[in-house]
Amino acid sequence: MTSSEKNMNILNPDRWLGDHGDYMFSFALSRINSREVAEDLVQETLLSAYQAREKFRGGSSERTWLVSILKRKVIDHYRKQARSQETSLDAFDLPFHSGGIHEGSWDKDRAPAYWDDHKLAGEDDNALMKVLQYCISLLAPKMSATFSMKTLDEISTEEICKELGISESNLWVLLHRARLQLRECVENKWFKDQK
C-alpha cells in the first residue's frame, strides 16, 4: 500500500460535513460575518479537500487539515473583497482635531468613553461578540480584511501586505482606522445600550 493510499484511508470524506461542518461554519462566520459567504467557503473547502485528498500526509488531524484549507479560502475572500472595493483612507472622518492648537487631540464628542469592566465580562459575552462582528461588517472591505487577518487570524504583516497588495505603512493606517471605527461602533451599539 502506497503512502497516498494510507492517507486516503485516514480521511473519511463521507463524514467531513457531519464531523467538522459546524466547526468550520462557525470559524468562517466569525471571520466573514455573512452566513451565505461562510456556507460557500465551507463548501469550497470541502470540495478542494476532496480534490486534494491524495496530498494529505497525515501529519495533522483531519480537522486541522480542513481548517487550514478553510483559512486559505477566507484569505482569498479577503483579498478579492479588498481589491474589488478600494478603500479611500480619507473616507473615515478621524475623531481628532485637525489644525490649530488642538491638532491631534480628541474631538470632545468622539473621545473614547470609559469602558466599565463589569460590562466587558460575564453573561453578555455572546451579545458583545455579536455587536463586535456587526461592527466589523460595517468596516470598508479593505479595513475589515486587514483587521480580521491581523487580529483574528494572526497572520504576519508581511503576508497580509503580500496578499492584499498594500504597503506596510498602508496596513498600519488601515488597522489604526479600523480600530478607531470599531471602538466608536462598539461604544454606540453596546455601551450606550447597556446604560
Sequence spans of domains, the chain = 3-84, 108-194
> Mean per-residue pLDDT for 81-97?
55
Centre a 10 Å sphere on the Cβ of residue 51 and count the other Cβ atoms it contains.
9
- Longest Cα–Cα distance in the chain: 77
The pLDDT, as a whole number, for residue 110 is 59
CATH number of 108-194: 1.10.10.10
The pLDDT, as a whole number, for residue 55 is 87
C-alpha cell at 70: 478553510
The domains spanning 3-84 and 108-194 adopt the same CATH topology: no
pLDDT in tens, 109-157: 655 555 555 455 554 667 777 888 888 888 888 888 889 889 888 889 9
What sign for the dihedral angle of Cα 117, 120, 124, 125? negative
Q: How confident is the model at residue 169 (pLDDT cuts 50, 70, 90)?
A: very high
Distance CA 191, CA 195 (A): 7
pLDDT in tens, 74-86: 888 888 877 665 5
C-alpha cell at 130: 455579536
Distance CA 84, CA 80 (A): 6
pLDDT in tens, 16-60: 999 999 999 988 888 887 889 999 999 999 999 999 988 888 888
pLDDT in tens, 62-71: 999 999 999 9
CATH number of 3-84: 1.10.1740
